[in-house]
Amino acid sequence: MSKAVGSDLNKADILFVGAGPASLAGAIKLQQLLKESGRSESVVVVEKGNKVGNHTLSGAIFDAEVLDELLPDWKQDEHPFIKKMLENEVQKDSVKYLTHHFAVSVPNFILPSDMKNEGLYTVSISELTAMLAEKATQLGVEIYTGFAARDIVEENGFVKGVKLGDKGLNQEGEKQSNYVAGEEIKANVTVFGNGCLDPVLDRLTDKFEMTKDKNPQIYSVGVKEIIKLPEENNFGSNRVIHTMGFPNRRLTPDVFGGGTIYSMGGNYVAVALIMGLDWRYCDLNPQQELQVYKSHKYVSKLIEGGEVVAYGAKTIPEGGYYSMPELVTNGAVIIGDAAGLVNIRKMKGLQYAVKSGIVAAEAIFASIQKGDYSKESLSAYKTALDDSFVGKDMRGARNYRQVFEKAKRVGVYLGAPLTKIQRLLPFRLKTHPDYKSMKKSKLKRDYSEGVDRLTDVSYSGTFHREEQPSHITFVNTDDCRECEAKYGLNPCVCFCPGEVYKVEEGKMMLSPSNCLHCKTCRVKCPYENIVWEVPEGADGPKYKVM
C-alpha cells in the first residue's frame, strides 16, 4: 500500500480556482496579509492548465502601476519577466483606420486620453502569470496545476469548495485502470478566478442566483498569433498599433472589434483580431479572418518576412457593468474575467483583474479575522471594488458596448459619438445573448490565404488525452441537422477557432482534442446546442508566450 497521506490534505482555508492574474494577485496579497499578522491559514490555488500560464491569453498592454500594491519594489526586481517588461515600454502608440487598401491615421487628439498607451508595457500574460506564480510560491501560497474544478461544493447555503473532475475514464465513460475519482477540495472561502465562460461559474451563479436581473453577458473572441520577424524588420520595437475597419467589408462595420499589433521584444510581434460575438455571419471563421487581416497591404508590410510561432484564442466578457454577476455570496467571491471585469472602451481587463484579486484578498482577510465567511462579511470586497478605479471605470463605460449593438446597422462611426453620451444615459441599455444574433447572411470570404486553421491549432500546443469522454457534446444532434438546413451550413464548423467541429458525409464529427478552451461555442451556437465541460486536468493549450 502507498504511504497513507492524511485526510486534511483536501482542506484549504482559502481556495482560489484558476491561476490567472486575478487569482495569483489575490493569493499573493492574502498571503502577505496573513504573514504580516502572524497567521498561518492555507492559501491554495488550483489550475486546470498543465502549468501556470498555459491557459492564459491576452493582448496584452499592462498598466503595471497596479503591481505597486503587490510587489512594492518591482521595478528593481531582477526577475527576467520584469526586466523584459521594462524593456517593452510602449513608446510609439497609434490608431489606424484601415480601408480595403489603405491605412489612415486616427489623429491622437481626437482619442480619449484613457485610450492612450504610452508608458504602459506590452507583456505576455502567460509569462506574467508564471512570474506571479513564482512570487506566490515563494511567499508560501500552494499552487497545484493540472487539476480541473468541475463543480462547486455547497453546504447549508454556503459555498464550501469545489469538486474536481474525474481522471482516467475512457470514451464510453468507463473507469480505466488508472482511474482517479474527482476529489472535493473544501475551503472556508472559494475565490472564483476561473475566467470567461467556465461552466463551473454558471453552476455557482445559478445556484446562488447571482445573475438575477442582470443584463446577459456578451462576449468577443480574440484570436492571436505570435510572429517572429526577421532581425531587420518593418515593425521595430516598443510599438503598439490598434486598427479599426478592415477586415470589415463595408464602411459601415458589420463586426464589432478591431485589430492589434504589439511588439513583444526580441523581434516577436503579437497580431490579434478581436471580434464581437454578436456577428451575424454564419460562415465567419475567426482564425481565417485573422489571416485576411494579415493580408492587408498595411499589415502585411509591417510583418513582412515573419513566421507564425504560436497561436491561441480566448473569449472576452464585454457586456460591462450591467452584465456583471453579483460578486459575492456565502463563502465565495468572483474576481477578474469571471466577474466580467473588462472595460471594452479601454480594451483592458488585466489591471482590473489584478486589482479585483487584491481587493478581494483584503476583504477575505477581514473575514478570516472575524471568522465570518457570510455574504455580508465578504461584501466588503464589492464595496471596495466599487470605490476603486475599477468600479469607476466600469460605471463610466456602463452603456458603451450596448450603444454599438444598437447602432450596428448604422455603424461604429455613428456609434462612436454616441459613446460620448452613453455615460450620461440615466438608464440601462439591454444586451442580448450572442447566439441570438446569428443570421443566414454570409461573408463568402475567400479563406485560402495565410496559415490554415489546423496548422495554427498545432502552434497552440493544445493536447487532450484522446481516450477520455469528449468534453464537448451536443444536447441533440437533430438540432444540428435543422441548423444546417436553416443556414446552409453548421456555423460551429466556421466559428470555432480550434476546428473542433467538422461535417463529414452529412454527419457532425467532433475533434475535442483540438479545443483551445475559448468556449466560443458555449455562446455562439444559434441553437444553444453545445455543451462544453472542463476536460481532464492538464489537458488543453500550452501557451507559453501568449
Partner 1 sequence: MNYIVLIKQVPDIRHIPKEAWDWEKGTLKRGLLDNVCNELDKQAMAMALSMRKDRDGKIIALTMGPPFATEILRYAMSIGIDEGVLITDRKFAGADTTATAYPLAQAIRKIQKEIFAGSDDFVVLAGMQSVDGDTAQVPPQLAEELGIANISYVTTVTFEKDNMLAERITRRGAETVSPTKMPCLLTVTEWAETPFPSFARTRWAEKETTREWSVEDIEADTTRVGLGGSRTNVVKIFSPKESSNRVCIFEHDLNKVVQGLKETYNKKLNEISSEAVTSDYKLPEGKQSDYKGDVCVYVEQDDGEIHPATYELLGKAAELAATLGEKVGAVLVGSNVKGLSDALISYGADKVFVIDNPLLAHFLPTSYTKAISRMVEQHEPQIMLFSATPQGRELAPRIAYKTNSGLTADCTQLDIVDFTRGKKEATAILKQTRPALGGNIMASIVSQNSKVQMTTARPGVFAAIEPDSTRKGEVIDVVVEITEDDLGAKIVTSELLPSTSELSDATIIVGGGKGLRTKEGFDKYIHPLVEGFEQYFGEQAMAGASRMAVESGFIERTHQVGQTGQTVKPTIYVAVGISGAIQHVTGMQSSDIIIAINRDPDAAIFKVADFGIVGDLEEVVPGLIKALKTSEVQQNV
Q: Which residues, in sequence order, are CB contacts of 510 under 8 Å at separation 6+?
A: 470, 472, 500, 501, 502
- Nearest approach in angstroms of CB 425 to partner 1 is 47
- Nearest approach in angstroms of CB 399 to partner 1 is 42
CA–CA distance, 47 with 17 (Å, rounded to integer): 6
CA–CA distance, 471 with 469 (Å, rounded to integer): 6
Output 251 or 509, the one with its CB closest to partner 1.
Answer: 509
Output 92 or 228, the one with its CB closest to partner 1.
Answer: 228
Strands lying side by side in the sheet with 14-17: 142-145, 43-47, 14-17, 189-192, 332-334, 328-329
Output 108 or 458, the one with its CB closest to partner 1.
Answer: 458
CA–CA distance, 292 with 496 (Å, rounded to integer): 16
CA–CA distance, 103 with 111 (Å, rounded to integer): 17
Report in angstroms the alpha-carbon separations of 174 from 168, 170, 184, 197, 295: 9, 5, 21, 28, 48
Output 46 or 273, the one with its CB closest to partner 1.
Answer: 46
- Nearest approach in angstroms of CB 433 to partner 1 is 33
Q: What is the DSSP letter of 434?
A: G
**DSSP strand pairing (219-228 vs 268-276):** antiparallel
- Nearest approach in angstroms of CB 204 to partner 1 is 20
- Nearest approach in angstroms of CB 511 to partner 1 is 9
Helices then strands, each counted (H, E), the chain:
16, 24
Please tell me whether residue 63 adopts helix, strand or coil conformation.
Answer: coil
- Nearest approach in angstroms of CB 32 to partner 1 is 21
- Nearest approach in angstroms of CB 148 to partner 1 is 11
Report in angstroms the alpha-carbon separations of 243 from 55, 100, 298: 26, 12, 11
Q: Which three cell numbers stand for residue 155?
A: 453546504
The residues that touch partner 1, with contacts defined as CB under 8 A, are 1-3, 5-7, 9-10, 44, 46, 50-51, 142, 144, 146-147, 164, 167-168, 176-178, 180, 183, 185, 226, 228, 308-310, 454-455, 458-459, 461, 463, 467, 504, 536, 542, 544-545
Output 268 or 293, the one with its CB closest to partner 1.
Answer: 268
- Nearest approach in angstroms of CB 5 to partner 1 is 4
Q: What is the DSSP letter of 103?
A: E
CA–CA distance, 353 with 58 (Å, rounded to integer): 12
Enumerate the H helices of 423-470 as residue ranges. 453-459
221 forms beta bridges with 275, 315
Output 168 or 469, the one with its CB closest to partner 1.
Answer: 168
Output 357 or 541, the one with its CB closest to partner 1.
Answer: 541
Output 398 or 453, the one with its CB closest to partner 1.
Answer: 453
- Nearest approach in angstroms of CB 344 to partner 1 is 31
Output 111 or 545, the one with its CB closest to partner 1.
Answer: 545
